[in-house]
Amino acid sequence: MAFASSLYYAFLLLQFSLGSNAREIIKEDQGGHGGLDPALNVFFRVNDLYLGKKMSIYFATNYNSTPTHLLSRDEADSIPFSSSKLSYLLEFFSFSDQSPQAKAMETTLKQCELKPKEGEIKFCATSLESMLDMTHDVLGMVKLKVLTTKILSSNHTLFQGYTFVEKPLEIYAPKMVACHTMTYPYLVYYCHGQKGHFNRVFKIALRGENGERVDATAVCHMDTSTWDPDHVAFLVLGGQPGSSPVCHFLPADNVVWVPSS
């Protein structure tokens, strides 16, 4: 995926918890043209969860020529992770002030520093150890299970029509933490959850028009009453905050943590 596309999709993913100005970002990304970007085809309704359902879906992947990875805790702790240190970080990673990489880094740092909304739990993880520690803080000291979307094809098509080939399987999760990748020189996860039982998690077996198989993970947000009216999900599905639950598929490089029992 190109760097600009990764940055765009990072903005989209942040909508799941922040309700920020993605509608304006989408318009700018499209150069002011009308119509929805295919990457927005990740949202659906709870009543779409049935065997035989057909829908067009965009499954993002992060195929970079220089893939990022999670640092060890010691490595991550040795590098400042703060917007106040952006100038130092740009010099450290050899990026110019006006580069796309600088814009992406600034956006990631600022989003990670935003305070959570009422009822929301959020954190950014720069190492596996920190992700596990903070996830345990949310879910308790229980054995964890990680869920993700698996693309079972070596020649993946980003956007096509899919069919639900099995009845969607709900994964019982009284609590969950969803982690989305952010655009940064090394791997950073933006993780969030909600206090209370407001989410449902599903595993969905899909077959694409070209025969491609995807073992998808989807999250349904049952209470959208606190979401921004300009949330991109309402742009795609219609409706307004609190009018109905909103579900979305996770791209292949995102994860959901749930208690294993």
User: Which pTM was predicted?
Assistant: 0.81
Give the start-end residues of each E strand in 150-239.
Answer: 150-151, 159-164, 169-171, 177-182, 188-194, 199-208, 213-221
The whole-number pLDDT of residue 38 equals: 85
The whole-number pLDDT of residue 39 equals: 85
- The residue among 131, 115, 121 whose CA lies nearest residue 175 is 121
SS3 207: strand
pLDDT tens across the length of the chain (261 residues): 334 444 444 444 544 443 333 444 444 444 443 467 888 899 999 999 999 999 999 998 765 544 467 899 999 999 999 999 999 999 999 999 999 999 999 999 999 998 887 777 899 999 999 999 999 988 888 899 999 999 998 788 889 999 999 999 999 888 899 999 998 999 999 998 866 667 899 999 999 999 999 999 999 988 888 888 888 899 899 999 989 999 999 988 899 999 987
Domain count, the chain: 1
Can you give the residue range of the structural domain that contains 14? 3-259
Residues paired with residue 259 on neighbouring β-strands, in sequence order: 144
Q: And the tokens for 217?
A: 């993970």
Q: Which helix (H) or strand (E) holds 58?
A: strand 54-58
